[in-house]
Amino acid sequence: MSLAHALREACAPAHAELELLPFFTALHRGELPLRAYREYLVAVQTIVGALEHELTCVAHTRLTGLWSSDERKEGLLKQDLRALEEQESTGTTPVHARLPALELVSEIRRDAFRSPVSLAGYLYVFRGSSMGAAQLLRSVAGQFGFAEQGVAYLNALADEASSWKQWKQALDRIPPGSAEFQIVLEAGVTCFAGLVAVVAALPTNDRPWAPPRAIDLNPNAGFHSVATEPLELEAALRAGERSLTEFPYLELRYGGRGRRFTASDSAWLVSICDLEPDVVEKQILWLAGVLAARGMPRLLLEEHLHWLYEESCAVRPERSSQYALLLQAAGRLKEARLRAIAENRFAELVREYESRVPAEWLERLRGMGRLLVGAMADERAGIRGSADRLADWVCDRDLFPEMLVQAATRTLADAAKG
């Protein structure tokens, strides 16, 4: 069985489920509000932008003929969104709809890191959507009266339908039974499942959105309180994005789960800023210890608290005194870190690690030197096993070349001496 045929069969259940979701039902009936179409474009731009970025960063012979930079569509999606903004205000993107898209982005990034050929599976889904683009275009244009503005992305997709057969032939160069065949197959299934979650979260009417709960941000987080004020929640998510950008480790190791907990923890941290200062500090230090024991050095939370403070103050400056409790807790974490390893020595150890690692890997594992030294600082401060939990991943020879494993091992050994 060819890869394209195997993908079609494996993805068929999710594909059928996707087409029957209320969003598409409302669209084809002419009952979808404009803001819902906008949320769809925002979600697709988020995912397509990440996929295209990964495709430009990797080189793999199996991807030859499947994608080229002149096929980028993120710009078309941005163009459509600008056109909608000029037409009328459609409000802000609800968190409920955004998070599934961001979670799929996490899976794309982690899969690309582990095996670049997996991107062919994601491409199969988005390239294959060209086959239904013409019908979608007719529904959107008919309901909202669009001719060209607002449908640039759908127009481009519809134009690619004629070359779908040729594209599948290029994909089928990956031989059946190979490890790459299975990797691409699993990526396609992951992509379709992610899209089902994204579209299921999109609005289908103009009713106001209910404030999210922790379980909406992260099904594994339970029902504890989180920030529900829209501006605060947006700020919390932006702070989370900064953490994920500055420390790719979170996504590369934990994937969507790491992103979900970053979102729910951020929203929870903002929500506790109205408590007594000693209670806030105690709660944050407790969280830092729990995370460190699970492979996330306390340095991660220390840095995140600064970004959370900045983003929160930017949208609610009148609450800066409450948000300042986040900085106080970050200060306590820094004090504990520097008691374990002095500041000058900490910086020296990071520089030594970075001198042993090629520039390409320094970018892919941005911040890893600080995390390694931070993990050992946690260990020296009494959080047993924190360094080992990080080493379990960064010293995995199935993931990293020997040179990187040795650099991490030596840094941990040197940091253990203080």
pLDDT beyond 60 at 368: yes
The pLDDT-based confidence of 202 (bands split at 50, 70, 90) is confident
pLDDT beyond 90 at 407: yes
Q: How far apart are CA 72 and CA 110, in angstroms?
A: 21
- Collect all residues with Cβ–Cβ distance below 8 Å to 280 and sequence separation of at least 6: 272, 273, 325, 326, 328, 329
Tens digits of residue pLDDT in 112-145 = 988 999 999 999 999 999 999 999 999 998 888 8
The two three-digit tokens of residue 415, written as one number: 């940091």
The terminus-to-terminus CA distance of the chain in angstroms comes to: 58
- Collect all residues with Cβ–Cβ distance below 8 Å to 284 and sequence separation of at least 6: 269, 301, 305, 326, 329, 333
- At 98 the pLDDT is 76
Q: How far apart are CA 337 and CA 13, in angstroms?
A: 50
For each of the domains in the chain, give its residue range(s) and CATH number, in order of start: 3-208 (1.20.910.10), 217-340 (1.10.490), 343-416 (no CATH)
Q: Measured in whole angstroms, how far is the alpha carbon of residue 109 from the centre of its chain? A: 8
Q: What b-and-e string marks burial along 3-32, b requiring 16 or more CB atoms within 10 Å of the CB?
A: bbebbbebbeebbeebeebbbbebbbeeeb
Amino acid at 199: V
Tens digits of residue pLDDT in 137-174 = 999 988 888 877 899 999 999 999 999 999 999 999 99
Least confident among 133-137, 232-236, 352-356, 408-412: 232-236
194: left (phi over 0), alpha (psi -120 to 50) or beta: alpha
Q: What is the DSSP letter of 88?
A: -
Helix (H, G, I), strand (E, B) or coil at 221: coil
Rounded to the nearest integer, the mean pLDDT of the chain is 89
Q: How far apart are CA 301 and CA 308, in angstroms?
A: 10
Q: How far apart are CA 414 and CA 145, in angstroms?
A: 66
Q: How far apart are CA 93 and CA 408, in angstroms?
A: 41
